Structure 1
Amino acid sequence: MSDIFYSLVERQPAGKDIVFLLDGSDGTRTGFPAVKDFVQRVVETLSVDDNKDRVSVVQYSKEPAAQFYLNTYTTKGDILDTVRGLRHKGGRPLNTGAALQYLRDNVFTASAGSRLQEGVPQVLVLISGGRSFDSVDAPASALKELGVLTFAIGTRSADSKELQKISHDPSYALTVSEFTDLPNVQQQLQSSRRFGKKIHLMSSCLFSPAGKDIVFLLDGSDGTRTGFPAVKDFVQRVVETLSVDDNKDRVSVVQYSKEPAAQFYLNTYTTKGDILDTVRGLRHKGGRPLNTGAALQYLRDNVFTASAGSRLQEGVPQVLVLISGGRSFDSVDAPASALKELGVLTFAIGTRSADSKELELQKISYDPSSALSVSDFTDLPVPRNSSPL
């Protein structure tokens, strides 16, 4: 399973490591002040002084050049002063592929201040004004494999397909008319849902308060009766790592077979102890057939809502963990797409009976790499606090 799952659901230092990769080639000279302004606006929202968030800026054209690394500055003021003073690099051609590889080898590393091994989310924001002269395919894939969430923002002069390749998911690419439109992006990210998944996820990564809303969707159909204790144990292990008592994290559990049933909502319990007690006491639902599509739609309409305790509108990351033991009797396509459009990060874990051939788990997951297959529920991964799986 993707390292991002553990970055989101395990105990970790609140915050993120954000790297800005800025196009400094000849064609971006006039728009560079607006690029710097955008970076400053984002940095202003971060928690740098208490070491929750770390920032790095790399500028590139023919070759990349680190302006500063993730561990160079420990105060927001120093970062802002340096960004204001950045000089446009200049040069050509634009080698985005080489720049991405440079980040992989020299910036997203422990020696440069990356906390990847501690489970801290790694975020890359690329701002580009043109098409790359070299290939971006292999370096972009390398960053995805590392677990970096890459968002690519480009002007109309950039190659939209290339931006989609670079982004962690094609929908995380964003196009603006020109760099002078960048100052408006943050406001759009924070206040608008009409742009769909790419906007909400970017907003969650860059501007959200510490914490997350996690919903567990558990297969309670007849075929999972013997494995259900292992499922409950997995949920308990994850909950143990969360920060519930200070309202950073919220948890909901829904069990389903033919129909879904909420065991509790995101705003039902405010203490970790109450959640753990309830999970331990869960009884297997039973029933058939397994209607995963209906369950996903139920979550969309009844659980990821403000009335049920979801903080989606506040920019808090929304995480869904599906644990399934079989193939769905109904279609999952439309409900899964609806959750993606809402901005929910869905991770699907299934046994070998859960339709790996038809790629149902991959369809449900927000990204195909976020699906995991295990032999049976006793093999569910054990969350580890200090490192990703």
Structure 2
Amino acid sequence: PRSTDQDGGHKTPLDIGHTKVEPVDAWKPEANPYESGFSLREPEPAPRAPEPASQGDPNCKVDLAFLMDGSWSIGKRRFKIQKDFLSEVAQVINVGVAGPMMGIIQYGDDPMTEFSLRTHSSSREVKSAIDKISQKGGLSNVGKALSYINKQYFSDANGNRGGAPNVAVVLVDGWPTDKVEEASRLARESGINIFFVTIEGPDDNEKQNLVEANFVDKAVCRTNGFYSLPVNSWFALRKAVQPLVKRVCDTDRLVCSKTCLNANDIAFVIDGSSSVGTGNFRTVLQFVANVTREFEISDTDTRVGAVQYTYEQRLEFAFGQYNNKGELLNAIKRISYWSGGTSTGAAITYAAEQLFSKSKPNKRKIMIVITDGRSYDDVRVPAEAVQRQGVIAYSIGIAWAAQDELEYIATDPDKEHSFFVDEFDNLYKFVPKIIHNICQEFNSQPRN
């Protein structure tokens, strides 16, 4: 925030050398009341048939929220420039139900939804809505606004489509008046791709006024420059339209859409040996279902496969065979107990060949081995081999499982990837821990 333009909050004065000025409320019998300072209710316009929804640009299918700066520091003139910028973005991006959908939040002291993602389905409607936005004033509390979009804005009720990346573009005059780091981290972990357009950002002398140093790098999805557009002057903002649209539509580079819950290929390697027993095997399947239930399942999100093993191995279902969570959970429930010996090493090799060899390159490969006893074959060499292929391995041991083998199977550090439970009925306790560890590992990746 910075001091208001001299003319930011005032209308341009009339040129009195050429214009006769009448008092605004001078009354003449023939005067039009709309020009006299009186306010009359306009007649209700006849209802128009709603225009058919635009399909939009299918090559830019994103759910796009703009956080516009309504703080007093801007002034009316620059606020109008900001509205013109958003209107031009709406025009260029080609809003429509099969392409980008666009919503706007205005923030000052607090954020306020101007319109949601689902409110308008064409660029023309969006531009008309932008024209009606008035400045709300206040501070530049960007952190509060980012928290708002994460918790409330990108919801199904507001038109979040699920299959479209969530993108938030923050427009900020100068710098925020609150901290953005924590709110941004939570938004990123929810799958929101945050861009910053900073207009007239702080110069070296002004940086001492910042609430939070390097606020842009702390907020954006990645710090590689793709997600930040510094603009030197409000009057140059229009030049940012095309570069911004190009970036938000480049869905392959919207990497924050990938979260710990939607970017995995997960293989369950399930011990079906005789020592497990039918009842306990059902408990294991319930555990597998409970873990699976936490993830976003589809062909483009997390995919799940399963192998059951004894001395032999059986592919129960492959990655992508079930791309609907309900169908996947039913498939887990239908797995029939096999019974036999315990060759965990061979099962790991089998999972690598049958499942991970068909993994998508943009997926994190996760293997969860569940066993209740010592393996009849070596587990160390197969486990090392699969981990060299980039697989993150978790081991879940029950009852008679061998601790040394569980540690060989698990990715380092063992304490984060290897778990032991004395009874099958206590398996459920590890579901939150496993999900937490998977997400913690995902979210600790470098952001450059």
Q: TM-score, normalised by structure 2?
A: 0.45
AA matched with 2:194: A
Correspondence 1:134 to 2:196? no
C-alpha displacement of 1:64: 3.3
Alignment match, 1:281: 336
AA matched with 1:60: Y
- Relative to structure 1, the CA distance from residue 298 to residue 379 in structure 2 (aligned partners, 3 Å threshold; closer, same or farther) is same
- Relative to structure 1, the CA distance from residue 358 to residue 347 in structure 2 (aligned partners, 3 Å threshold; closer, same or farther) is closer
AA matched with 1:323: I
Alignment match, 1:96: 142
Correspondence 1:182 to 2:249? no
Q: How does 1:44-193 map to 2 (within 5 A)?
A: 44-46=95-97, 56-61=103-108, 64-69=111-116, 73=119, 80-85=126-131, 89=135, 94-103=140-149, 107=153, 113=157, 123=166, 125-129=168-172, 131-140=175-184, 148-155=190-197, 162-163=215-216, 165-166=218-219, 174-176=227-229, 179-180=240-241, 181-189=243-251, 192=252
Distance, in Å, in 2 between the alignment partners of 1:109 and 1:223 is 45
Name the % identity: 12
> Unpaired segments of 5 or more residues in structure 2?
1-60, 202-211, 232-239, 372-378, 433-448
C-alpha displacement of 1:153: 0.7
C-alpha displacement of 1:58: 0.4
C-alpha displacement of 1:380: 6.5
Distance, in Å, in 2 between the alignment partners of 1:68 and 1:287 is 58
Q: How does 1:13-52 map to 2 (within 5 A)?
A: 19-23=65-69, 26=74, 33-38=84-89, 44-46=95-97
Distance, in Å, in 1 between the alignment partners of 2:112 and 2:155 is 16
Query: What do the CA deviations read for 1:197-242 (whole angstroms, capped 9, x no partner)?
Result: xx2553x79xxxxxx8974311346999746543434556758x99
- Relative to structure 1, the CA distance from residue 167 to residue 218 in structure 2 (aligned partners, 3 Å threshold; closer, same or farther) is farther
- Relative to structure 1, the CA distance from residue 277 to residue 58 in structure 2 (aligned partners, 3 Å threshold; closer, same or farther) is closer
Alignment match, 1:323: 368
Distance, in Å, in 1 between the alignment partners of 2:140 and 2:106 is 11
Q: Secondary structure at the match of 1:59?
A: strand
The partner residue of 1:377 within 413, 416, 427 is 427
Query: What do the CA deviations read for 1:123-156 (whole angstroms, capped 9, x no partner)?
Result: 4613345542321244446657xx7433211247
- Do 1:321 and 1:349's aligned partners in 2 also have CA atoms closer than 8 Å? no
- Do 1:57 and 1:67's aligned partners in 2 also have CA atoms closer than 8 Å? yes
- Do 2:91 and 2:127's aligned partners in 1 also have CA atoms closer than 8 Å? no
C-alpha displacement of 1:249: 8.9
Distance, in Å, in 2 between the alignment partners of 1:121 and 1:282 is 39
Structure of higher CA gyration radius = 2
- Relative to structure 1, the CA distance from residue 125 to residue 87 in structure 2 (aligned partners, 3 Å threshold; closer, same or farther) is same
Q: Secondary structure at the match of 2:283?
A: helix
- Relative to structure 1, the CA distance from residue 201 to residue 152 in structure 2 (aligned partners, 3 Å threshold; closer, same or farther) is closer
- Relative to structure 1, the CA distance from residue 248 to residue 229 in structure 2 (aligned partners, 3 Å threshold; closer, same or farther) is same
Q: Tell me how large the CA RMSD over aligned residues is.
A: 6.4
Question: For this pair of structures, how many residues does the alignment match?
Answer: 313
Distance, in Å, in 1 between the alignment partners of 2:145 and 2:322 is 46
- Do 1:253 and 1:263's aligned partners in 2 also have CA atoms closer than 8 Å? yes
Query: What do the CA deviations read for 1:302-354 (whole angstroms, capped 9, x no partner)?
Result: 2327xxxxxx8xxxxx6876534599853988755xx8xxxxxx998967987
AA matched with 2:180: V
- Do 2:194 and 2:220's aligned partners in 1 also have CA atoms closer than 8 Å? yes
